[in-house]
Amino acid sequence: MFLTISTTGTPERPATDLGFLLHKHPDKAQAFSTSYGTAHVFYPEAGEDRCTAALLLEVDAVALVRRGKGKGRGGAPDAALAQYVNDRPYAASSLLAVALSGVFSSAMKGACRARPELPDRPLPLRIEVPAVPARGGAGLVRALFEPLGWTVTVAPVALDAEFPEWGDSRYVGLVLEGEQRLADALRHLYVLLPVLDDAKHYWVATDEVEKLLRAGEGWLPAHPEQKLITSRYLSRRWSLTRQAMERLELVRLAEADDSQVEEIDNAVDESQDTDEKPVPLAVQRRDAIVAALRSADAGRVLDLGCGQGQLVQELLKDTRFTEIVGVDVSMRALTIASRRLKLDRMGERQSERVRLVQGSLAYTDKRLKGYDAAVLSEVIEHLDLPRLPALEYAVFGAARPRTVIVTTPNVEYNVRWETLPAGHVRHGDHRFEWTREEFRAWAGAVAERHGYGVEFRPVGPDDPEVGPPTQMAVFHTTARNPKEEKVA
C-alpha cells in the first residue's frame, strides 16, 4: 500500500515545514514495525518550493492470517484461500488507516513542539493513493471527500488493461487537492479509507465509537453522508452505530446552540437507575417456544436435548402441559436438570407430570412416540452435518409428534454481537451455524419429506439487515407419514 502527501511553499514558508508537522525528517528514510508488517516513511522530494512525504506499508500476509485466526462457519475452502489471496498488501484499507494513526500520531493530533504555530496553518495539499477499494464507485468517493473541501480526481482501475472490454474493477486511483490543515487531512483519510473499503481487518468493539468521534471532530457531525460513514466505519453494528449517531447529534445541537455538549445532555439524573434491563435472549427463546406450544394446543411435550432443564422448568409452571419429558444424551446434564427441578422434593401431583430420560437423537426410540409436540431448542447446530439426517428421521419419521419446534442461531446476526470475534461461531461446540436461507431450505425439505407444513418465526430483535438472533421453525403435520403411505 502506498500513499503520498505533497505540499508547495515559498522561501518565507518552505514546503519542508511538512517534515516538522509529520515529525519525520526529510533527509531520513525510516521504518516502523506494525502488527501486520512494516511501514516505511521517506521523502521522494524535499525542497522549499515542493515537498512530498511517502508512506509505504509492506503487509506480512502470514502475520495477517495469524492475527485473524479463529473458528469460522464450517471452514469453507474458498474462505481459507481468501486469507492468503487478497488485496490487502496492495489496496488502501483499514490497514493503511491504522498505519497512518500509528506513524503520524502526533500529526493527527495537531501537535508540533518544534513549531507550534504550524498545525493550525492550512497548507496546499495534494494526497495521492494509487489503489483504493471503492464499494460505491467514483460517485461515493466524491460524496465523501468533496463536502470536506477537497477537489477530488477519481481514476477507475481497469480489471485488465489488455482486455478493456472486461470493464473497470472496484478499485480507483484517488487524488485529493485542497487547502487543509494536515491534521484534518489525516483524520479524513483515517475514517474514510475503511469506509470506502466497507471492511475492517480487526474486530470492531465499543472503543471504535470513541475513535470515530475523535477523528471526526469538527467535520463529521455536519457531513451530509454522516449516517453512511458511521455505519460503515463501525462495520454496520447497529448498536454501535446508534450510539455514535446519538453522540454526533448532541454535538450538532450543541454547536447550533453555541453551548457545551454536557449542558444539553443533562436530562437524566445519574443517581437514579432508569435503564430497563434487557431481556436475555435465552428467556426470549423460551417464551417464544412456550407461546408456540400453547398455540398448538400441546399437552404432552418432549424436550429433546433438554440440557440442564430450563425449558422443562418453564413448562412445569403451566398446568396445561400435562406430561413433559426431557431427553438428553448426557447423564451429567440430566443430573443437573434433576437438581434444578428438585425432583427429589417435588410433590406427587407435580412429579407425575415430568420425566427425565437418557437417549440419543441419532437413533429411533419407541419411548418418544405418541406425543403432541417435540422441541429441539439450540440442538441441531451441535451435531455434525452428516448425522443430521439420522436425527431428522428419528424425530420426524419415527417419533412423529403432531408439532415440532426447532430453534437455531442465525449466523447472519453474529456481526451484531459486539463481544463475538469476527469469524467465530457463538459456542465452541457448534458444528455449524446457518443463514436464514440455509435454515429455511433445510426445514422446507424436512417438511416435504415427512408430511409436515412449516412456518418461520423470529426470536429476539428482528434486524432489518441481518434478521433475528435466533430463527425458529414450527412444523405441523399435514398428512400421514409419506413412507407409511407408500407401504400401505
Q: Of 370, 372, 400, 377, which is closest to residue 296 (Cα–Cα)? A: 372
pLDDT of residue 136: 86
pLDDT of residue 479: 61
How does strand 452-459 pair with strand 470-477?
antiparallel
How many beta carbons lie within 10 A of that of residue 96, not counting itself? 25
From CA 85, how far away is CA 64, in angstroms rounded?
Answer: 12
For residues 377-388, give the mean pLDDT.
93
**Where is average pLDDT lowest: 1-10, 89-98, 130-139?**
89-98
The partner residues of 34 in beta bridges, in order of sequence, read 37
236-247 pLDDT, tens per residue?
Answer: 888 888 888 887
Which residue type, as a one-letter code, is found at position 149? Answer: G
What Å distances lie between residue 461 and 243, 279, 423, 445, 487, CA to CA? 17, 11, 21, 27, 45
Residue 304, exposed/middle/buried by CB under 10 A (0-12, 13-18, 19+)?
A: buried
CB 369 within 8 A of CB 399: yes
* Terminal Cα-to-Cα distance of the chain (whole angstroms): 70
pLDDT band for 71, please (50, 70, 90 cuts).
very low
All three cell numbers of 282, joined, read 435465552
CB 374 within 8 A of CB 404: yes
Average pLDDT, the chain: 85
From CA 175, how far away is CA 154, in angstroms rounded?
Answer: 7
pLDDT band for 416, please (50, 70, 90 cuts).
confident
CB 414 within 8 A of CB 470: no
From CA 49, how far away is CA 43, in angstroms rounded?
Answer: 14
Total count of residues recorded for the chain: 488
Using the predicted structure, report yes or no on whether residue 256 has a pLDDT greater than 70. Answer: no
From CA 58, how far away is CA 31, in angstroms rounded?
Answer: 10
114-124 pLDDT, tens per residue?
Answer: 898 999 999 99
- H helical segments located in 49-176: 61-67, 77-82, 94-103, 105-109, 137-145
Choice between 203 and 354, residue whose per-residue pLDDT is larger: 354
How many beta carbons lie within 10 A of that of residue 163, not counting itself? 9
pLDDT band for 165, please (50, 70, 90 cuts).
confident
Taken in order 207, 209, 213, 216, the sign of the CA dihedral is positive
What H or E segment, with its residue span, contains residue 154? strand 151-158
pLDDT of residue 79: 46
pLDDT of residue 297: 95
CB 326 within 8 A of CB 398: no
Using the predicted structure, report yes or no on whether residue 68 has a pLDDT greater than 80. Answer: no
Choice between 375 and 207, residue whose per-residue pLDDT is larger: 375
All three cell numbers of 413, joined, read 446476526
**Where is average pLDDT lowest: 14-28, 70-84, 106-120, 170-184?**
70-84
CB 103 within 8 A of CB 55: yes
- pTM for the full predicted model: 0.55
pLDDT band for 253, please (50, 70, 90 cuts).
low
